[in-house]
Amino acid sequence: MPSAPAAINPAEATAVVTGATSGMGRAVAMRLLDEGWTVLAVDINVEGPIKDRLPAARHRTCQADVADRIAVESLINEHAATLPPLRAVVNAAGVYPPSNLDDYTEHQYRAIFDANVLGTVNVTSSTVKPMRAHGLGGTIVNFASADAFSVSPGQLLYSASKAAVVSLTKSLAIELAPSGITVNAVAPGWVDTPGTRGNDRMAAALPGIPLGRAAAAEEIADWVWKLVSAETSYVTGETLLIAGGAALR
């Protein structure tokens, strides 16, 4: 019978976080650093180190487009050999431009699905190899969205891409279970980030949220941390909806 994954010593563990220089991805990277992990922060836009006052050995910020499989594999292979064992991956990179049946374009479709769906597959494929190599197991957390379950007007392609992430999470959970790797997802609703702050759609949505507010990025990071922590090692294939009651399932 397979055993539970080995307990994680944060001082001897690395996490890869995509979309890590802003918003929820940045909040997740900061939380992992606060917990003592080493973080490999990946983003298409590199705005600077995640934490300037930490030793460089504790965090590295790297530029890569998650939709570029070769670039992602090269980056992971380059850094995995010189960092503590890779034990967690957080696929937070994503885009969310509005679209509907009247205005969508093929370019927009490919941009959304490349970032949100293909990017999740590319990063997972590239990071599973070093996870399997050290034989300690690990955890993957994908970013879906409340729109995967309760679609919003004007989010035709985004909602579909995040529903695909929910399905990927289930499939990957089954595929990676024999390697001691759990795969779960979070599905945030409205979150107060620089990208959504001042958004007319969010302002209109807030009165309809039963808890009366948007989430803070740090609240989403707290739930990601719970999924990464050893206490949840028997949970896999699940998507946690974090929407303040605005979406239920």
pLDDT at 233: 80
How far apart are alpha carbons 242 and 16 in whole angstroms?
Answer: 22
Domain count, the chain: 1
5 has a pLDDT exceeding 70: no
pLDDT in tens, 86-104: 999 999 999 999 999 999 9
Catalytic residue among 96, 104, 158, 234: 158
Beta-bridge partners for 15: 39, 88
How far apart are the C-alpha atoms of 65 and 49, rounded to whole Å?
18
Q: Is the pTM of this model over 0.75?
A: yes
Q: pLDDT tens digits for 41-77?
A: 999 998 766 777 676 678 899 999 999 999 999 999 9
Beta strands in 179-231 (DSSP E): 181-188, 191-192, 215-216
Q: Determine, yes or no, domain membership for 136.
A: yes
- The span from the CA of 218 to the CA of 215, in Å, is 8
Q: Is residue 193 part of a domain?
A: yes
Domain span holding position 125: 10-242
Enclosing H/E stretch for 240: strand 239-242
For residue 5, being part of any structural domain is answered with: no
Distance CA 146, CA 248 (A): 9
Q: What is the pLDDT of residues 174-188, one digit of tens each?
A: 999 999 999 999 999
Under 8 Å between Cβ of 62 and 42: yes
3 within a domain of the structure (yes/no): no
CB 66 within 8 A of CB 124: no
Beta bridge partners of 241: 187
Whether residue 61 contacts residue 48, with contact meaning beta carbons closer than 8 Å, is answered with yes
Specify the CATH number for the domain of residue 151: 3.40.50.720
Q: Would 74 be classed as within a structural domain?
A: yes
Task: Give the span between the Cα atoms of 172 and 169, in whole angstroms.
Answer: 5
Q: Assess if residue 100 is contained within a domain.
A: yes
- Using DSSP's 3-state secondary structure scheme, residue 194 falls into coil
- Integer angstrom CA distances of residue 157 from 46, 145, 151, 226: 26, 12, 10, 29
The number of helices, as runs of H, and strands, as runs of E, in the chain is 7, 9
Q: pLDDT at position 227, please?
A: 95
* Residue 124 counted as domain residue: yes
Q: Tokens at residue 92, please?
A: 């937070």
pLDDT digits (tens, 9 = 90+) for 131-173: 999 999 999 999 999 999 999 899 999 999 999 999 999 999 9
- 158 labelled catalytic: yes
- In-domain check, residue 46: yes
State the pLDDT at residue 212. 94
* pLDDT number for residue 74: 97
